Amino acid sequence: MSYTKYLLYALVCFAGLQSYAQSNFEGLGESGFALNKRLSSHYKFNFAVRSRYYLYQDDALNFENRQLDFVHFSTLNLDYNHALSLGVQYRLRATIDGESDELRFTQQFNYTKKNHALRFGHRVRFEQRILDELTIFRSRYRFAVDFPLNGEKLDVGEGYLISSIEGLLSISKRIKPELDYRTTTHIGWLVSEALKLQFGLEYRFEAFNIDTEEKLFLLTSAILKI
């Protein structure tokens, strides 16, 4: 089965989104490393470290570190298709770019369904973002699809594609409700039974109901199963 049309669709989405970029456009990079561990058929946990940095801002190429994220998720599989997760994240910014550090708590529900090689995923998240001067309550919904690029089963040495769209609503007593939209595409390789490498692009429309800011992210990550 060929999935060329899905890859072309993802590329067209990014091309169309980038055409809207204006003076408030920023380009960033994010590199991450994650460790996944399954303790039983029902429970697994994840630790990740991510670094985010500017690549383009103020209409010029400019490399500048922005933040470090330290993330933990614990996931309970209710059955083959449904899972509940709890997460905690600490974002370090004060000593890097002078902005507020952040403590974030996450509650997540995930539903996946597989149809031959295609796997569809629905994810709902509720987050409490605690900063120095305010707390933001954020709700998120993401729809994702992933599939191997060769055949119907992912084997060692083969590639895969993940594409998703996500809507976000942020609410706080001190700021107006904010709507965000994100679209993301990753290409990954199963290097070994334990290691995956992923490269991707993510385009964000942030606060598009107030004063739209557009950001393009270059994403790189390594995922190690232990």
In tens, the pLDDT along 27-80 reads 999 999 999 999 999 999 999 999 999 999 988 999 999 999 999 999 999 999
DSSP 8-class letter at 132 = S
pLDDT above 90 for 171: yes
Distances (CA, A) of 151 to 154, 155, 158, 191: 8, 9, 10, 17
Q: Which residues contact 4 (CB under 8 A, 6 or more apart)?
A: none
DSSP 8-class letter at 79 = S
Rounded Cα distance, 155 and 137, in Å? 40
How is 166-223 classified by DSSP, letter by letter?
EEEEEE-SSS--EEEEEEEEEEEEE-SSSEEEEEEEEEEEESTTTS-EEEEEEEEEEE
The per-residue pLDDT for 21 is 43
Any idea which of 1-5, 123-127, 218-222 has the lowest mean pLDDT?
Answer: 1-5
pLDDT above 70 for 5: no
pLDDT above 90 for 24: no
Please say whether the dihedral angle defined by the alpha carbons of residues 195, 111, 202 and 148, taken in this order, is positive or negative.
positive
pLDDT in tens, 187-213: 999 999 999 999 999 999 999 999 999
pLDDT above 80 for 186: yes
pLDDT above 60 for 175: yes
**Which tokens is 70 given?**
């330290």
Q: 159 near 148, Cβ under 8 Å?
A: yes
8 vs 99 pLDDT, higher one? 99
- For the purposes of burial, counting CB atoms within 10 Å of the CB of 39, is it exposed (0-12), middle (13-18) or buried (19 or more)? exposed
Kindly state the average pLDDT of the residues 170-178: 94
Taking the model in full, what pTM does it have?
0.88
* Side-chain-side CA neighbours of residue 66 (13 Å): 17
Query: Binning pLDDT at 50, 70 and 90, where does residue 85 land?
Result: very high
pLDDT in tens, 106-165: 999 999 999 999 999 999 999 999 999 999 999 999 999 999 999 889 999 999 999 999
